[in-house]
Amino acid sequence: MEYHIRIAERIFFGEILQGDYGTRNPAPSSWAEYHFRFDDAALGERFAEIHAAVRTGNVGPLETEYLAWLTETAGSYIGSPRPLTVAPAHMRHRVEAARLLAYIGSRETIPFLADLFTREPDPFVRSIAAETIGRIGVDPDGLALSAFKNAILPPFRLLNENVLNAVAAATGALCRFSGPPLADVGVRLLTILAGYNWAPVARNRAQAELRSLFN
């Protein structure tokens, strides 16, 4: 009985997809100890390599290495522990790393992305983290929706409209892909956002997402 209860809790926010590829907590990348890993030149070369692999469909055996490097880069500001002598990657590089996770990521990266959305101080990075969650389209443990809920409800209500707009879009995407009961939670969040008259862009996006779910 206890086993069935645990399974029921895990799948409350949607069916658990089969397969575990070891990307939820990947080992440190081969670049993790490289002191200059966040320099523009080093990042540029690595991004070019990963973009080429994604474009040609040759991620293959390097997927875990790439995901480890992307999460280290995207999360370099919130990383803990982080050597004080190593500055985090620039915001634009954190954005690019988070965005690339949508193309080679999986449900196993959702915990990282939900944490990035919650703890990253830069609103643009937070927006991309939410966007990436929506592109992946699943949230079996409810971590992303919980992060979104905490962001739009008091006492820590988001005031940045670009982030709110990304949350509305990602919530709609999760609802369409996963269905109930996750959609029930998502609809409640979208309904709250749809009443944000002080944030018209996010309000209109939430209203559009609600219409798409019920049409």
Closest to 120 measured CA to CA, from 165, 157, 77, 163: 77
Q: What is the mean pLDDT of the chain?
A: 85
Crossing angle of helices 123-136/143-152, nearest 10°?
Answer: 140
What does the pLDDT average to over 135-162? 92
Q: What is the CA radius of gyration of the chain?
A: 18
pLDDT interval class at 30 (50, 70, 90): confident
**Between 139 and 33, residue with greater pLDDT:** 139
What does the pLDDT average to over 163-189? 92
pTM beyond cutoff 0.75: yes
pLDDT interval class at 71 (50, 70, 90): very high
pLDDT score for 112: 95
